[in-house]
Amino acid sequence: MPEESIEHIDFDELNKKAVSQPLIKHIYTADPSAHVFNGKIYIYPSHDIDAGEAFDDLGSHFAMEDYHVISMNSVDSEAKDNGIALHVDDVPWAEKQMWAPDANEKDGKYYLFFPAKDYNGIFRIGVAISDSPTGPFKAEPKAIKNSFSIDPAVFKDADGSCYMYFGGIWGGQLQRWRTGKFNEEESESPVAHLPKNNEPALCAKVAKLTDDLLQFDEAPKDVLIVDENSQPLLQGDNERRFFEASWIHKYKGKYYFSYSTGDTHLICYAIAENPYGPFRYAGRILNPVVGWTSHHSIVEFEGEWYLFYHDSSLSKGITHLRSIKVAKLNYDENGFIKTLNPYNDFDVIE
């Protein structure tokens, strides 16, 4: 939601009606990727700062420089900021814009997966490793070979296989890779290089990772989302089609792919029988929050399911200064997720 659209909002009233409050208030955090390691919750968010960049549709004002890991003993406990886990200055290949990360664990090692722009202005995805879930993390000297775009989410299946889901349009550059190579043509328009509205929407990507979690084990494939008639969602279907913020979780044996619709500010999901899909669109998880972006994760803790997300309520609507939150997630008897309104009966879009 553009900042000029927040003038009607009474933030005192909104915060009273919010279903959750910011987990961290001394810094701004966004894009929370939550995991349970060793019986504790660890959250891997972006660290928002005000770098003085002008607002634009390609996200130049999201100028994050480092990552902090947030830990919680339980959903109701105080959230702890464990300090800087990785800084862009310590990533040889990365120049700027440390956007939404994720993490996972294997054989007692912890892996941080993150996007950043390289010195050619192209988003790549890197890996950093630590002996601790809170870091500090040491980055690999090069980005993952053949990686591109943003928002990596790494899902570990029951057999130990790990899959990376990634991609984002507009500032995330996914539309500039439609031919398999980066389109060098510069454009100020966020919709340049996108399919037409009546054409199939661009898809997120998925690739199985190598056993050491450092490279793709295969060429990335499309994460196809289909409608009730098994037809691919169209680019113009912007209340259902993929924009960014991939996440995967399993519930009762099925794979739930959730994502942000970007310019319509929704978190939606689709369901499949396997990690590659196709995924059938199933509905909305989260209605619009204050702030343009919406980005989330879903995790089970002690038998309950939780949605981690962000909004800009703490900064009173400043788009690039966000705060992470958590709310309980519920399913119906058929396995469909019940839509969550982040502010009860308060509509942030008029």
pLDDT tens digits, one per residue of 297-311: 999 999 999 999 999
pLDDT tens digits, one per residue of 260-280: 999 999 999 999 999 999 999
End-to-end CA distance of the chain: 11
Name the 3-class secondary structure at 90: helix
Q: Which residues are catalytic?
A: 31, 244
* Residue 3: predicted pLDDT: 46
Tokens of 255: 């794979």
C-alpha dihedral, 273 to 278 to 282 to 285, nearest 10° = 90
pLDDT tens digits, one per residue of 225-260: 999 999 999 999 999 999 999 999 999 999 999 999
Tokens of 17: 């009606």
Q: Give mean pLDDT, residues 211-235.
A: 98
Written as one string, the DSSP assignment of 7-66 is TT--HHHHHHH-SS--S--SSEEEEEEEEEETTEEEEEEEEE----PPP-TT-TT----E
pLDDT tens digits, one per residue of 182-202: 999 988 788 899 999 999 999
Alpha carbons 209 and 225: distance in angstroms, whole number: 22
User: Ranked by mean pLDDT, which of 60-69, 142-151, 184-193 comes out on top?
Assistant: 142-151
Phi, psi of 121, rounded to the nearest 5 degrees:
80, 15
From 110, 106, 90, select the one nearest 98 (Cα to Cα).
Answer: 90
Name the 3-class secondary structure at 163: strand
Where exactly are the structural domains of the chain?
3-183+190-329
CATH class for the region spanning 3-183+190-329: mainly beta
Region for 283 from its dihedrals, namely left if φ exceeds 0, alpha if ψ lies in -120 to 50, beta otherwise: left
Q: Are 29 and 44 in contact (CB under 8 A)?
A: no
Tokens of 147: 């990686």
Name the 3-class secondary structure at 254: strand
Alpha carbons 262 and 241: distance in angstroms, whole number: 9
pLDDT tens digits, one per residue of 153-179: 999 999 999 999 999 999 999 999 999
pTM: predicted TM-score of the whole model, two decimal places? 0.96
Give the residue, 119 or 189, on which the prediction is more confident. 119
